[in-house]
Structure 1
Amino acid sequence: MQIERTPVVFIHGLWLHAASWTPWLEMFREAGYDPIAPGWPNEPDTVEGARANPDAVANTSIDDAVGHYAKIIAELPVAPIIIGHSFGGMVAEKLLGQGVGAAAVAIDPAQIKGVLALPLAQLRSALPALKNPANLHRSVSLTRDEFRYGIGNALTPEESDALYDAWAIPAPARPLFQVSAANFAPHSEARVDTGNPDRGPLLLISGTNDHTVPDASTRSSFRQYRDSAAVTELRTFEGRGHSLTVDHGWREVAGVVLEWLAGQGLRA
């Protein structure tokens, strides 16, 4: 009799391709899980394809991404663990709040409705998309310098540029506009059901040197769950930036995630 391996769904954020999860897939597979890393709606299968066709992902909204991953998860044999980074972290939070998945890990998650903290570094990181209102329905690419400030700021310029060359792709600007207006929109797609007592456990992870989603924003998101009876925990990585899932220290972060999952009884 074949025993089902626990599935894990990895969800990336803006400006990084799904293939950037490849080392995590290998590590989780070796740990006994059954991991996958599907791209966002209409995302080309390769970094080169995504760069060649930037309009493929244009105008994708938060709920478009949530619905896309919900359909993928519905086809899995058992409820998966959902692990997301940046906007992928927000998607993971939304799915778990809706009762989708056995547990979730949100790494440097994009701020949800109700988070008021807006550090200057976060605003500057979002400017490549937000500086032009016409970008709402477009995709936007980062320059090397913009990538280095928003994602690779805690790295050497050489490592940041290498990550840019390997994984950077155009991203839809619409989710950033949705988050920036979330607290003024009654039915914002950035809203997460933080009070659901029946959801699975949730781990939030932040890096103290993150410019794109500063530690203050992640801590504020964590406080949104204070009235929930479900398990919600926060782990912080000192000196790490938004690149912590793809840079030289990714294995440390992945190891903490595996340890936490085991502590929740969610072994492979």
Structure 2
Amino acid sequence: MRILRTEEWADPTPHAAREVRKALPEAPTEHAPVLFVPGFGGGAWVYAENWLAHAASRGVPAYAMSPRGHGESGAAPKADLRAYTHDVVQVAASLPRQAVLVGHGAGALVVAQALARYPARAAVLLAPVFGGWGPAFGAWARNPFGVTPAIFGGALRPRRGQLFSPETPVEEQREYASRRGRASARAQWQLARHRGPEQPVGEPPVLVVGSPDDKLVPAKELDRVARRYRGSPLLFPGMGHDLMLDASWREPIDAILDWLEKNP
């Protein structure tokens, strides 16, 4: 754990408007709030479609945020990974109780970085993209036409078949794809060069969730990230990368909420 972060005071992260959506249980609850963080190009909406209301129906206060430059948050074309991490920490700190952090894709790396700055109750890393040249090259090999624009500062364009299972209706896949934005070019380059996050504060329990049929994150990458947190990944065969929007979205969120009940 780093005590002194010279970059934080020498080059402070500028303020940005942040979108936060929420769904709260009807009755008072003792459950810790859960803060959902999207991956690059996503926004709070990816969780608001299904997971927020479902978590609230099970008595869990659920929040979803859009880091700067994503969703309905303020524009930030020059944002970096540190700025996204700052946004997660600031929103988590504003919640009424110590929160559980859940991040998807590259948002899982942002959550992992936030864990070194915020004492989370627990964390869940969904289909985590932790970066590095090896995974970046693998992503390019699987989808060169979609990844090459990102190398030169453009938007990453995953194929619909990489994001969803065949059971997800095509019209839904197209609608979700049309709502995707993009991360900053700087953050995309940092992701490719990233060597891994710092150790969490307080050693919170961390669960890695994914699918062995994910066309973006191979099973060996899920294993690698899970080993980092001394665990094994929880797998959902047949699902695509966007677990929260896939046709079988109930299965992973129920498993996550069950896991949180066992780790109060």
TM bucket by the smaller chain? 0.7 to 0.9
Distance in 2 (alpha carbons) for counterparts of 1:156 and 1:4: 35
Contact 2:168 2:246 in 1 (8 A): no
- Map 1:71-150; keep pairs closer than 5 Å: 71-112=90-131, 120-121=138-139, 123-125=141-143, 128-131=146-149, 133-135=151-153, 140=155, 142=157, 146-150=158-162
- 1:261 maps onto 2:260 in alignment: yes
What is the Cα deviation at residue 32 of structure 1? 1.4
Residue 23 of structure 2 is matched in structure 1 by none
Contact 1:66 1:95 in 2 (8 A): yes
Distance in 2 (alpha carbons) for counterparts of 1:122 and 1:245: 24
Residue 60 of structure 2 is matched in structure 1 by 33
Distance in 1 (alpha carbons) for counterparts of 2:180 and 2:71: 13
Change (3 A) 1:58 1:214: farther
Residue 16 of structure 1 is matched in structure 2 by 42
Contact 1:85 1:107 in 2 (8 A): yes
What is the Cα deviation at residue 77 of structure 1? 2.3
What do residues 155-203 of structure 1 show as CA deviations (whole Å, max 9, x unaligned)?
A: 56714224324x42233343332122224xxxxxxx3124x58321100
5+ unaligned residues in a row in structure 1: which ranges? Answer: 51-55, 184-190, 227-231
Bigger relative contact order, structure 1 or 2 (CA pairs below 8 A, ≥6 apart): 1
- Map 1:216-235; keep pairs closer than 5 Å: 216-226=220-230, 232-235=231-234
Contact 2:136 2:192 in 1 (8 A): no
Tell me the matched-pair count: 235
Contact 2:206 2:229 in 1 (8 A): no
Contact 2:208 2:233 in 1 (8 A): yes
Distance in 2 (alpha carbons) for counterparts of 1:117 and 1:93: 17
Partner of 1:204, secondary structure, is: strand
Contact 1:85 1:245 in 2 (8 A): no
5+ unaligned residues in a row in structure 2: which ranges? Answer: 1-27
Change (3 A) 1:201 1:122: farther
Partner of 1:68, secondary structure, is: helix
What is the Cα deviation at residue 104 of structure 1? 0.5
Equivalent residue in structure 1 for 2:197, among 180, 192, 206:
192
Distance in 1 (alpha carbons) for counterparts of 2:137 and 2:240: 15
Say what the alpha-carbon RMSD is for the aligned residues.
2.9
Contact 1:94 1:193 in 2 (8 A): yes
Change (3 A) 1:80 1:243: same
Distance in 2 (alpha carbons) for counterparts of 1:262 and 1:126: 41
What do residues 22-71 of structure 1 show as CA deviations (whole Å, max 9, x unaligned)?
A: 1111011111122111111143529xxx9xxxxx2423221111011111
Partner of 1:140, secondary structure, is: coil
Change (3 A) 1:178 1:149: farther
What is the Cα deviation at residue 247 of structure 1? 1.3
What do residues 117-176 of structure 1 show as CA deviations (whole Å, max 9, x unaligned)?
A: 5673465447645446541xxx6263xxx43144236556714224324x4223334333
Contact 2:164 2:239 in 1 (8 A): no
